[in-house]
Structure 1
């Protein structure tokens, strides 16, 4: 993959403003709905991507769903990434990788520089902050970004992310961002859209971090509650919806397109 010299946050901002969208399309193909088998899954996933592209600022494939399909699923993931690049659509690979030393470096190379790589990668900091270094370095070398898990959308996050732990991670994200000077940096944060009452706190704690807000739609988050995550002008954050778009009405691609348009419009109305 040839690195894009344009910083990832700049690409997000430019696309967001040019298309008036803050919506991130999650693509999580699940085999059960597809009576036609693998090829129907592949075709439908690519058709949803193409249909929704005009309404989204980026795409976020969740790696687990592709890994579950075996080698063939990873080939589909590569096709999804190639199709997104042809649409000039930034890719956030949702793999939540994190490990030590050379293993972290290998993960970073695979997901930020390989054939199925994205422009950005979600990473897990809970093995220690030094384990972020290979991911951040590889992202910078490839014109990409990382989104560090700070406050995830699932109810059980409180088991490990309470008691000031998320605040410590946010402080490290802010420190890494400050190394890049002014403006949005290459080190972002994952903040669940299911924590609307906390968004102003996290935005203040990480003023230079692009924020990825998962949980719109099926997980219950509402566009109207997410305004505090954005910077002036409605930039600096993207809001992800997956099942609520891809399977808005079974395998109806037109329904997926309309769901994406609806979420886009709800976010724009909230930010107006």
Structure 2
């Protein structure tokens, strides 16, 4: 059985963070309208005004971003929506982005927010973490990633197949607990038995992760906790000192560097994600003025180094 000597996702992530010396990761959420003209024009010339032209632009851009960031970060997080909207060519670009990132030694967290019931959720887990039925055999998943984001709204039976595959194959999940979007409080802050609903979800995550602990003291059942809610992060961290936090919303969405300390425990246990603030830095000040679109690669590199320094300072 593969599970006998499997290394937990939590241990893999902690090791990658220590190797790179930063908990910062990069979200691969490419917006076609914001891609450099040098790339889009080349693909337009090759493929015309087609979906293939768009998705080749996205893939080439992603590969350049990965080349820039892979020496410095432990993981990337591609959000599937930016690929799926272009149909089969977009899904192919997503697959090739995952493959390229893994070839460059990065862990890949598929931001897919999957969930469902029964055999359907098992199929979702098979697609990214488990094994795919293939005639009289099983294949590794086509979207062979290290972890996925999941929605807990359907309860434990919508999570269990993910947990099973995490144990068997050394994979991980990040459960939506306190998300970074402004209206998240409409549901997540509803009072239930005297406390906010997101705290009940956090406790459930603790129970789900108790049997998937790594040697470094962290569970492979992680939590998504938005950078824009540091006070809520303090509460959740007290409940779950052994959970990994995936922290979206840094920078562009308003998450501040000085608040990031609340997501860690003794400087460990969290990864901070920035997407647009890194990959489209050349569209934003001060990088737009300093570099412009022509030097977009320099803007990506400098914005990442700035983020890494900011996070490192608060963890000292």
Q: Aligned with 1:240: secondary structure? A: strand
1:1-272 residue pairs with structure 2 within 5 A?
5-34=6-35, 35-36=40-41, 37-38=53-54, 39-113=56-130, 114-162=141-189, 163=191, 164-180=196-212, 183-232=217-266, 234-250=267-283, 252-272=296-316
Q: Distance in 1 between matches of 2:59 and 2:200?
A: 41
Q: Does the CA-based 8 Å contact 2:6-2:168 persist in structure 1?
A: no
Q: Aligned with 1:54: secondary structure? A: coil
* Pairs aligned (count): 270
Q: Aligned with 2:14: secondary structure? A: helix
Question: How big is the alpha-carbon RMSD for the aligned residues of Structure 1 and Structure 2?
Answer: 1.8
User: Structure 1 residue 130: deviation in Å?
Assistant: 2.2
Q: Does the CA-based 8 Å contact 2:83-2:91 persist in structure 1?
A: yes
Q: Distance in 1 between matches of 2:299 and 2:209?
A: 39
User: Structure 1 residue 230: deviation in Å?
Assistant: 1.0
Q: Does the CA-based 8 Å contact 2:129-2:169 persist in structure 1?
A: yes
- Range moving further from structure 2, 249-258 or 101-110: 249-258
Q: Does the CA-based 8 Å contact 2:179-2:224 persist in structure 1?
A: yes
- Tell me which of the two structures has the higher relative contact order, counting C-alpha pairs closer than 8 angstroms and 6 or more residues apart: 1
Q: Aligned with 1:55: secondary structure? A: coil
User: Structure 1 residue 160: deviation in Å?
Assistant: 1.1
Q: Does the CA-based 8 Å contact 1:178-1:208 persist in structure 2?
A: no
TM-score by length of 2: 0.81
Q: Deviations over 1:19-63 (max 9, x none)?
A: 211111100111213443423322111100110112212100001
Q: Aligned with 2:70: secondary structure? A: helix
Q: Distance in 2 between matches of 1:40 and 1:181?
A: 40
Q: Distance in 2 between matches of 1:246 and 1:181?
A: 33
Q: Aligned with 1:212: secondary structure? A: strand
Q: Which structure has the larger Rg?
A: 2
